[in-house]
């Protein structure tokens, strides 16, 4: 059984998790270096074998965790999309429904604005939708929670947040296949949008995390009044209302798309990030997880919230 994720952990707890006697002599350095048994790196989190060897490094460690290897991802060229529809609304866009959407992205070429994901009430209009866009000309990420044609949004310039994003300090240096920013060894980064519905000001209500680091500098924001709209469509890689357009289409690869019906905390996202490894939810933070797309078997989401395929022009690709 994995160790708890917060609060007090005793030395005997760690010994037990490592398969030792509860009362055995314990040195945190020796434990973290694997002197008492190999550290299981298949666990969501684990001690990284470096100082200061603190007890908090063992939060959520699971010595018995099984390994997981991603088999497929979804690849997009501009004009591609995966658009899926629900039979009935699994949740709402509103001033009371928290949401978190997380994706792993490997950026392709860029020449115009791009929609990464779009949660919408319908395809017929754009009055009620929640989306993440890369705005090419302004070099910004835009997260917009839009209800009854009123915008509640926040925008982050990449060049003003170079310390967390890593794409450079010039507005003319765009996010692209040659400038992906701070990514892992496979050139993927994790982008997470957190929507806290309790916050009237969008600067507090919308947060962007690049990998496990919050992007803090705001370029622009709108805090319009929010109403309620049912979510029925979810589109990856393009606009929901026009999923074949090249004007808003995304170029690149996506994996492990997760929708949470809760506002994840910073520590939750650190657990989700999992030290830069693209991981299945079985090996990552899953509290409040509503559904996910892993693409390992097909393009279905895990709990069937969006069962009907309307557009599927992206390419499911093996690693």
Same structural domain, 49 and 84: no
Same structural domain, 7 and 107: no
- Structural domain for 17, as ranges: 1-67
Question: pLDDT category, 290, cuts 50, 70, 90?
Answer: very high
Question: pLDDT category, 180, cuts 50, 70, 90?
Answer: very high
Tokens 């990998």 identify what position?
211
Q: What is the pLDDT of residue 67?
A: 59
| Cα 174 from Cα 91, distance rounded (Å) | 34
Contact by Cβ (8 Å): 51, 273: no
Q: What is the pLDDT of residue 44?
A: 64
Q: Which of 25-29, 80-84, 203-207, 249-253 has the lowest mean pLDDT?
A: 25-29
Question: pLDDT category, 279, cuts 50, 70, 90?
Answer: low
When the pLDDT of each residue in the chain is averaged and rounded to a whole number, the result is: 90
Same structural domain, 8 and 134: no
Residue 45 pLDDT > 80, yes or no?
no
The stretches of the chain forming alpha helices (DSSP H) are 11-17, 28-32, 162-165, 202-205, 266-273
Number of domains in the chain: 2
CA 261 remoteness from chain centre: 13
Q: Which of 22, 49, 67 is the last residue of a domain?
A: 67
The structure's pTM equals 0.80
44 torsion bin: left (phi>0), alpha (psi -120 to 50), beta (else): alpha
Same structural domain, 242 and 135: yes
Question: pLDDT category, 165, cuts 50, 70, 90?
Answer: very high
Q: What is the pLDDT of residue 66?
A: 66
Same structural domain, 276 and 312: yes
Contact by Cβ (8 Å): 219, 142: no
Please report, for the domain that includes residue 180, its CATH number. Answer: 2.60.120.200
Same structural domain, 169 and 305: yes
Same structural domain, 87 and 194: yes
Same structural domain, 41 and 124: no
Establish whether the linkage from the previous residue to 152 is cis, with ω within 30° of 0: no
Residue 31 pLDDT > 90, yes or no?
no
Q: Which residues of 33-62 are buried (b: 16+ CB within 10 A; e: fewer)?
A: eeebeebbebbbbbbeeeeebebebbbbbb
End-to-end Cα separation, the chain, in angstroms: 31
Same structural domain, 104 and 63: no
Same structural domain, 142 and 16: no
Q: Which of 32, 51, 67 is the last residue of a domain?
A: 67
Same structural domain, 59 and 78: no
Tokens of 228: 């309620």
Question: pLDDT category, 38, cuts 50, 70, 90?
Answer: confident
Q: Which of 37, 67, 97 is the last residue of a domain?
A: 67
Greater model confidence, 279 or 29: 29
Residue 40 pLDDT > 80, yes or no?
no
Q: What is the pLDDT of residue 260?
A: 96
Same structural domain, 76 and 169: yes
Q: What is the pLDDT of residue 55?
A: 83
Q: What is the pLDDT of residue 237?
A: 98
| Cα 80 from Cα 65, distance rounded (Å) | 36
| Cα 229 from Cα 1, distance rounded (Å) | 41
Residues 211-249 have pLDDT tens digits of 999 999 999 999 999 999 999 999 999 999 999 988 889
Percent of the chain with pLDDT over 90: 67
């Amino acid at each position: 059984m994995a160790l708890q994720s917060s609060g007090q952990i005793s030395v005997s707890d760690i010994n037990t998790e490592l398969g030792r006697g509860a009362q055995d002599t314990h040195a945190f350095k020796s434990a973290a270096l694997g002197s008492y048994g190999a550290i299981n790196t298949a666990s969501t989190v684990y001690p990284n074998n470096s100082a200061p060897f603190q007890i908090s490094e063992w939060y959520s460690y699971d010595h018995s965790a099984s390994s997981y290897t991603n088999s497929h991802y979804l690849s997009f060229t501009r004009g591609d999309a995966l658009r899926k529809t629900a039979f009935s609304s699994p949740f709402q866009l509103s001033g009371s429904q928290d949401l978190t959407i997380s994706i792993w992205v490997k950026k392709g070429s860029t020449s115009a604005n791009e929609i990464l994901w779009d949660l919408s009430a319908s395809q017929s209009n754009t009055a009620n939708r929640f989306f993440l866009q890369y705005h090419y000309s302004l070099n910004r990420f835009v997260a917009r929670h839009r209800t009854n044609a009123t915008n509640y949004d926040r925008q982050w310039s990449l060049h003003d947040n170079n310390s967390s994003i890593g794409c450079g300090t010039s507005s003319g240096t765009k996010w692209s296949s040659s400038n992906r920013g701070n990514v892992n060894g496979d050139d993927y980064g994790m982008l997470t949008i957190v929507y806290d519905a309790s916050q009237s000001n969008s600067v507090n209500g919308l947060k962007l995390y690049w990998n496990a680091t919050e992007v803090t500098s705001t370029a622009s924001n709108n805090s319009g009044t929010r109403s309620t709209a049912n979510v029925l469509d979810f589109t990856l890689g393009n606009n929901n209302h026009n999923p074949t357009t090249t004007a808003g289409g995304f170029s690149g690869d996506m994996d492990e798309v997760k929708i949470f019906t809760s506002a994840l905390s910073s520590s939750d996202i650190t657990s989700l990030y999992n030290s830069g490894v693209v991981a299945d939810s079985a090996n990552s933070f899953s509290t409040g997880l509503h559904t996910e797309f892993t693409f390992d078997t097909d393009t279905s989401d895990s709990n069937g919230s969006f069962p009907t395929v309307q557009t599927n022009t992206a390419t499911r690709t093996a690693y």
